[in-house]
């Protein structure tokens, strides 16, 4: 996986966290730097931990499915990306309590926005050219930065970017999945 692919993957994975961060920023009556950093830390941390957990899980059975791993990677990324694309067209559903900044709430939001990263981690186990620690670090850092930007932008501009962020993220994930499939089939190198 090239650095460009990794950065695109990271942006795609961070789209949900960015969208939720926009909503969190919108809920702040006045920008609170400590809360913004806490949100970014939670989202970035979980986006880094989940693919690592997925990689550990996938490593245990990667050898058994090596002949069709590119199909598994494509299906996982296409399902995740497709779900994000579908959600981007849903009416702007608001969270139950957008002003809730408790650690428990942030933990649940961080887990919910990083489930797709678990599946990506499983695909990492099936790819030969992935440095897992470097990849999860990049994913975590990109998510941290985009989440921080999301809080700031949400506080400044509101939630009108949510659907667009999910749409772009979904398209990126489907595109990377298609590239992995085409490489696995020998169509491209």
131-167, pLDDT tens digit by residue? 999 999 999 999 999 999 999 988 887 556 666 766 7
Name the token pair of 110. Answer: 């961080």
Q: Supply the DSSP symbol for 94.
A: P
pLDDT, residue 117, reads 87
Q: How far apart are CA 16 and CA 144, in angstroms?
A: 12
More confident residue, 100 or 104: 104
Give the whole-number percent of the chain exceeding pLDDT 70: 84
> Chain centroid to CA 82: how far?
13
pLDDT, residue 96, reads 41
The number of residues in the chain equals 189
Residue 44 has pLDDT above 90, yes or no: yes
Per-state percent for the chain, helix, strand, coil, to nearest 5: 80, 0, 20
Sign of the Cα torsion 146, 7, 46, 79 reads positive
Cα angle, residue 107 at apex, residues 164 and 31 outer, rounded to 5°: 60
Name the token pair of 31. Answer: 């920008």
3-state secondary structure 136-174: HHHHHHHHHHHHHHHHHHHHHHCCCCHHHHHHHHHHHHH
Judged by DSSP in three states, 167 sits in: helix
Name the token pair of 89. Answer: 């067209």
Q: How far apart are CA 42 and CA 56, in angstroms?
A: 21
What is the pTM assigned to this prediction?
0.71
């Amino acid at each position: 996986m090239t650095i460009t692919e990794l950065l695109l993957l990271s942006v795609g994975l961070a789209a949900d966290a960015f969208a939720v961060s926009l909503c969190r920023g919108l809920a702040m009556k006045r920008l609170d730097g400590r809360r913004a950093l806490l949100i970014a830390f939670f989202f970035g941390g979980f986006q880094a931990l989940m693919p690592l957990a997925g990689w550990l899980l996938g490593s245990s059975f990667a050898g058994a499915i090596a002949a069709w791993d590119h199909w598994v990677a494509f299906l996982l990324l296409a399902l995740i990306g497709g779900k994000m694309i579908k959600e981007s067209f849903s009416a702007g559903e608001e969270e139950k309590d957008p002003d809730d900044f408790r650690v428990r709430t942030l933990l649940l939001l961080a887990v919910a926005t990083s489930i797709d990263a678990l599946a990506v981690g499983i695909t990492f186990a099936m790819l030969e050219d992935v440095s897992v620690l470097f990849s999860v670090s990049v994913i975590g850092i990109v998510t941290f930065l985009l989440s921080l930007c999301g809080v700031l932008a949400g506080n400044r501009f509101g939630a009108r970017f949510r659907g667009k962020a999910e749409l772009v993220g979904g398209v990126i994930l489907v595109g990377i999945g298609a590239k992995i499939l085409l490489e696995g089939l020998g169509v491209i190198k």
